[in-house]
């Protein structure tokens, strides 16, 4: 077992402020290699108050990514999350690719692996009457009951909000689905994954080239993780309201709604008569990726004094008085014929990190277009504990997953537990929560309930 004593990442102090001359040149070799490990704690000086969600128990009938990511965030913040899975098949995220083999010899997919840290897994067959009864017995012991099945599924199982609210009036019932449960919608029965709701919210169209299909999945699991953030916000709000009212409520998150909120520029620009392309780069200002010696860096110039600085830095101060660059729209029109060749000539002997650093030193927003290996070496990522090493039983090298992005002055990092094996905590949860005996648990297992 790894020690849970505070272990700070090995971080060399930068020469002056970040962005000072020489800073970017030394970033890669300044000792920024430490990553969080399972069982490890950091910043214990922030942890003497405990974690903000300690004492909150979450019972989650969840699958794939959206809800599991939300409950993992709650777990990072101190909630006890008990995940309900089918006792032999597990949840559907276990079947994703790529896969590793866990300590039980079971193949486990990437979607499950990255969304289930700090959780307990109990195996209950909710299609079995005794399994549903067992779930109902657990409900009064939890603050949050969460599910992300198609709307109506939990109702058909007799485990919907109407039932849960009687069993536990203080329970916050969180539903996360493609199109929501509380309000009628023509899409209620449509299945949904992240790319579907991203497309329906209008995210893909602004970057579609003429006579070509729109690019799909432009931001990984935005539809899932974006929805998860709203799920956490809604749950925390409901828990806070419960403190005043004494009652829980049904928190209903539609992935489609979440993506409309994420893509808020789409409807607003249309209502103002602006072209759809204004929601992305290329119509106004300078926003683009430019080649350096080892890849690309992105530059964003939206203000006139930043344009003047950019022009001067790359050796074209004359642009400041050139009519072609008199407006922000003019800047955008000149990106390909004029600005790109000039920036890339200036950057050809610089790495993407060096080019970004040189611009940032003058207040111009820029950053390297990173690949995973860049993140593995990045000092910010290390200092913020944003990568976690998870040991594997089937390989010497650990798996890398992302950490908790919520940083608080009274919140320590870790300790983090690894993803649970299927049904790993079934016996323990049933014994401690429902006080079932070994004989009762054995009988449930023989009947295929657990």
pLDDT digit string, tens, across residues 295-328: 999 999 999 999 999 999 999 999 999 999 999 9
pLDDT band at 25 (very low <50, low <70, confident <90, very high): very low
pLDDT of residue 274: 86
Q: What is the pLDDT of residues 50-74, one digit of tens each?
A: 999 999 999 999 999 999 999 999 9
In the chain, the percentage of residues whose pLDDT exceeds 90 is 85
> Which of 102, 125, 143, 224 is an active site residue?
224
Q: Is 427 a catalytic residue?
A: no
The pair of three-digit structure tokens given for residue 1, joined into one six-digit string: 């077992």
Mean pLDDT of the region 211-239: 94
Domains in the chain: boundaries: 57-266+418-446, 281-369
Q: What angle do CA 131, 133, 134 make, to 5 degrees?
A: 65
Whether the predicted pLDDT of 357 surpasses 80: yes
Q: What is the pLDDT of residues 212-224, one digit of tens each?
A: 999 898 778 899 9
**φ, ψ for residue 108 (rounded to 5)?**
-130, 130
Whether the predicted pLDDT of 270 surpasses 80: yes
Mean pLDDT of the region 120-133: 98
Tell the CATH superfamily of the 57-266+418-446 domain. Crotonobetainyl-coa:carnitine coa-transferase; domain 1 (3.40.50.10540)
What fold, for 281-369? formyl-coa transferase, domain 3 (3.30.1540)
Mean pLDDT of the region 233-249: 98
pLDDT band at 276 (very low <50, low <70, confident <90, very high): confident
Q: Are 114 and 76 in contact (CB under 8 A)?
A: no
């Amino acid at each position: 077992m790894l020690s849970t004593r505070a272990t700070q990442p090995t971080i060399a102090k930068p020469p002056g402020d970040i962005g000072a001359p020489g800073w970017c040149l030394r970033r890669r070799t300044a000792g920024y290699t430490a990553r969080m490990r399972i069982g490890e704690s950091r910043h214990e000086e922030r942890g003497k108050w405990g974690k903000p969600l300690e004492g909150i128990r979450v019972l989650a009938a969840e699958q794939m990514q959206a809800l599991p990511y939300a409950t993992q965030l709650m777990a990072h913040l101190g909630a006890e999350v008990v995940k309900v899975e089918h006792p032999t098949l597990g949840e559907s995220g276990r079947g994703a690719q790529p896969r590793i083999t866990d300590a039980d010899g079971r193949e486990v997919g990437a979607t499950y692996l990255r969304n289930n840290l700090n959780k307990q897994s109990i195996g209950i067959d909710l299609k079995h009457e005794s399994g549903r009864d067992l779930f109902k017995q657990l409900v009064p012991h939890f603050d949050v009951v969460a599910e992300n099945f198609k709307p109506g599924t939990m109702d058909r199982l007799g485990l919907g909000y109407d039932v849960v609210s009687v069993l536990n009036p203080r329970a916050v019932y969180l539903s996360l689905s493609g199109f929501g449960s509380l309000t009628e919608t023509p899409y209620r029965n449509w299945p949904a994954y992240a790319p579907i709701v991203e497309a329906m919210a209008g995210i893909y169209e602004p970057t579609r080239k003429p006579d070509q299909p729109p690019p799909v999945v432009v931001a990984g699991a935005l539809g899932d993780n974006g929805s998860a953030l709203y799920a956490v916000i809604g749950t925390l709000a409901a828990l806070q309201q419960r403190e005043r009212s004494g009652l829980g409520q049904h928190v209903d998150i539609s992935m489609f709604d979440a993506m409309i909120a994420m893509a808020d520029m789409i409807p607003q620009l249309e209502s103002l008569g602006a072209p759809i392309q204004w929601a992305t780069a290329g119509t106004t200002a300078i926003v683009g990726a430019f080649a350096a010696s080892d890849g690309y860096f992105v530059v964003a110039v939206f203000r006139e004094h930043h344009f003047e600085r950019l022009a001067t830095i790359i050796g074209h101060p004359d642009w400041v008085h050139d009519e072609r660059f008199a407006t922000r729209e003019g800047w955008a029109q000149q990106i390909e014929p004029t600005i790109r060749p000039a920036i890339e000539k200036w950057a050809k002997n610089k790495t993407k990190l060096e080019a970004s650093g040189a611009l940032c030193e003058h207040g111009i927003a820029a950053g390297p277009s990173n690949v995973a290996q860049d993140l593995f070496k990045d000092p910010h990522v290390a200092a913020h504990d944003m990568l976690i090493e998870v040991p594997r039983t089937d390989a010497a090298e650990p798996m890398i997953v992302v950490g908790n992005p919520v940083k608080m002055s009274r919140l320590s990092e870790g300790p983090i537990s690894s993803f649970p094996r299927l049904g790993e905590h079934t016996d323990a949860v049933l014994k401690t929560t429902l006080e079932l005996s070994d004989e009762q648990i054995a009988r449930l297992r023989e009947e295929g309930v657990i």
